[in-house]
Structure 1
Amino acid sequence: MTSAHRVVVLAIDGVYPFELGIPSRVFGAAGGRYEVLTCSVDGRPVRTNSDFSIAVEHGPEALRTADTVVIPPFVTNPLPREVPQAVVQALASVAPGTRLVSICSGAFVLAAAGLLKGRPATTHWVVADLFRASFPQVALDPDVLFVDDGDVLTSAGAASGLDVCLHIIRKDHGSAVANQVARMCVVPPWREGGQAQYIQHPVPEATGSGTATARQWALENLHEPMTLTDLAEHSHMSLRTFARRFTEEVGMSPGRWLIQQRVDRARHLLETTDLPVDEIAGQVGFAGGTSLREHLHAAIGVSPLAYRRTFRGALTPTH
């Protein structure tokens, strides 16, 4: 039996307790596939941003043994453009090729250490402008829940730490394991949309109805052709009003949302069935296999065959 993948969480003074606990809670629910350790830069207790401190069991030497390092957010004013020397020394002990993960403003640590230079990344939308001004060499995308750039993953605020940890499990062990972990943690295995749906906007005036009914109808009929007019009719709105309300409620346009749902449904079928690509395309409402290939590649950068090989191959074959 292979040894468990070691995840080491680096707790920095001022750490947010919720995000600090996410890796242990999520990876710990994966049936022994991961071992999670928590360390500080000096092995001493760590202040949290709340009214208590946390005693950790490990010092920076744990980072040398990590397969994955996670950096949760912490309170500091201002957020760091330069990494404290103790953190620099701790991160220097991480072996080359170790997977690095940040949650929320933990991305500031990776960027200040020069580990995000020339890479795509994200962070909490509230500090996105500050991040962009501080690290212009990083390709910041503030609209997504997380960014996977291979050996470096960054995530947005708070609960997006759950999203990125589940995504890592999905990559490592396939959707069946990730879905089971999500059920154990009572969270969705995959959240639609990005940070745009959580950014503060003026509250729209109530009209007595929303677009949820149209979205539910669309999800039940993805295999059918549908237009913006069809969706608007199911919400009893004009096209213009529907498009505006939909974007306010969901954080993206109806057309983009519909494509995303079709791609997500196609991914599920690629993972869980042996159906041909053309048949899957028909079941999710794409015009054909070519259209599915184009949309899947645009969404996640791989072909249906490569996607199926990755996620079906990660699962234990059934007979």
Structure 2
Amino acid sequence: MRIAIMVLDGMFDTGLSSVLDTLTMANELAPLQGKRPPFVIEVISVRKRVRTALGMEIPTVRFDADQGFDWVLVPALGSKTPETLDAALKRPDVRDAIAALVKASKRGARLAAACTGTYVLAATGMLRGRAATTTWWLSADFRVRFPAVTLDETRMVVEDGHCLTAGAALAHVDLALYLVRQHSPSLAHLVGRYLLVDDRPSQMSYALLDHLSHSDPVVERFERWTRENLRDFSMTEAARAVGTTERTLQRRLRKVLGRTPIAYVRDLRVEQAIHLLRTTDQSVDEIAEIVGYQEGVTLRTLLRDKTGRGVRELRRWT
């Protein structure tokens, strides 16, 4: 399998190194299972010289869409806010990279990206009408910027058609392991053991919803009020508390967060439940009541659906 890693100026150093280390380790461990190294890895670019966010110069091969890559992978940009990402996407080298990805796709390559690299992939238009994930704290901005993408920021890795996306920062490892798994599940398991990486199907266990990037004062007031009233949440009372109508509040939340108020309240309840599981010895039934559910079984099901982990795993995982 030929994998090209598309590098850009100011890229996230750990993203690049995580992908390279994971795929290289797979090549090195494959002979232990009687297999040949499965990957040919090339670091490519649309520029002769590339420097990472920390200033390291990366030797690259000039991109050529006719080289017959199976995958072209885009690690994260060093940008961490909507404003810096907006500026990065307008840079000439990034625009050239976007065009190169489109050309590679037309030549049969599949496209992958992690963290803020998903913005570059989405800008190609190749995610239009497809499911994807991105770094959790930029999910609201991503939805506004790319409304035609079906975003599920809770998932760690999402494959849809010829595109593969992964979540925040160290989800680069999950992305690389996903590619290894397509070749050999047993090799991916071995690499994960060497790297001390467990299966992480969801970002929800890591997300801090009050760190989501949005600047709408109505949404911010709604979030604060809801956190204080999770047990007895009422949409009518929430709208009254933030000084607007229910209809307007629903519209603002849909525009800013890309989800309904009820869906957002559910995520806040999950976040608070996870916090209580890890910091108290309260029972699931007690925590369910605190966050607004009548039965513990409802909370158990929701936690499993949103995080991919059971209550015991969430309590043990800190």
| Same structural fold, with TM-score higher than 0.5 when normalized by the shorter chain | yes
- How many pairs does the alignment contain? 226
Q: Decide which of 116, 126, 134 is 1:105's aligned counterpart.
A: 116
What are the within-5 Å matches in structure 2 for residues 7-46 of structure 1? Answer: 7-30=3-26, 31=30, 32-42=37-47, 44-46=48-50
Q: Decide which of 62, 66, 90 is 2:100's aligned counterpart.
A: 90
- Are residue 197 (structure 1) and residue 202 (structure 2) matched? no
Quote the offset at 1:210 in angstroms. Answer: 6.1
- Give the structure 2 partner of residue 254 of structure 1: 300
Task: Kindly provide the CA deviation profile for residues 16-58 of structure 1, in whole angstroms up to 9, marking residues without a partner as x.
Answer: 111012222111122211121111112x2212111x2323231
Contact 2:143-2:149 within 8 A present in 1 as well: yes
Change (3 A) 1:28 1:242: same
Q: What one-letter code is carried by the residue in structure 2 that aligns with 1:36?
A: I
Partner Cα separation in structure 2 for residue 182 and residue 33 of structure 1: 16
Contact 1:8-1:70 within 8 A present in 2 as well: yes
- Secondary structure of the 1:29 match is helix
Q: Which has the higher contact order (CA 8 A, sep 6+)?
A: 2
- Give the structure 1 partner of residue 176 of structure 2: 165
What are the within-5 Å matches in structure 2 for residues 159-308 of structure 1? Answer: 159-174=170-185, 176-188=186-198, 190-192=199-201, 194-200=202-208, 211=277, 235=281, 237=283, 239-241=285-287, 253-257=299-303, 260=308
Change (3 A) 1:88 1:135: same
Partner Cα separation in structure 2 for residue 123 and residue 261 of structure 1: 20
Q: Decide which of 26, 47, 56 is 2:51's aligned counterpart.
A: 47
Partner Cα separation in structure 2 for residue 58 and residue 238 of structure 1: 54
Quote the offset at 1:59 in angstroms. Answer: 0.9
Q: What one-letter code is carried by the residue in structure 1 that aligns with 2:15?
A: E
Change (3 A) 1:130 1:7: same
Alignment RMSD, CA only?
A: 3.3
Partner Cα separation in structure 1 for residue 155 and residue 177 of structure 2: 15
The alignment-based identity, stated in percent, is: 26
Q: What one-letter code is carried by the residue in structure 2 that aligns with 1:180?
A: L
Partner Cα separation in structure 2 for residue 38 and residue 63 of structure 1: 15
5+ long unaligned stretches in structure 2: 31-36, 211-226, 228-274, 311-318
Change (3 A) 1:253 1:195: farther
Q: What one-letter code is carried by the residue in structure 1 that aligns with 2:116?
A: S
Q: What one-letter code is carried by the residue in structure 2 that aligns with 1:123?
A: T
Task: Kindly provide the CA deviation profile for residues 81-129 of structure 1, in whole angstroms up to 9, marking residues without a partner as x.
Answer: 6674421342244153312110101111111111111111111112111
Contact 1:63-1:90 within 8 A present in 2 as well: no
Following TM superposition, the consecutive aligned residue runs of length 4 or more in structure 1 with deviations greater than 4 angstroms are: 80-83, 242-245, 257-262
TM superposition score normalised by structure 1: 0.62
Change (3 A) 1:45 1:152: same
Change (3 A) 1:165 1:63: farther
- Secondary structure of the 1:100 match is strand
Q: What one-letter code is carried by the residue in structure 2 that aligns with 1:15?
A: M
Partner Cα separation in structure 2 for residue 179 and residue 213 of structure 1: 31
Partner Cα separation in structure 1 for residue 304 and residue 142 of structure 2: 31
Contact 1:46-1:55 within 8 A present in 2 as well: yes
5+ long unaligned stretches in structure 1: 215-234, 263-319
Q: What one-letter code is carried by the residue in structure 2 that aligns with 1:118?
A: G
- Give the structure 2 partner of residue 61 of structure 1: 64
Contact 1:16-1:48 within 8 A present in 2 as well: yes
- Give the structure 2 partner of residue 295 of structure 1: none
Quote the offset at 1:164 in angstroms. Answer: 1.9
Partner Cα separation in structure 1 for residue 103 and residue 60 of structure 2: 18
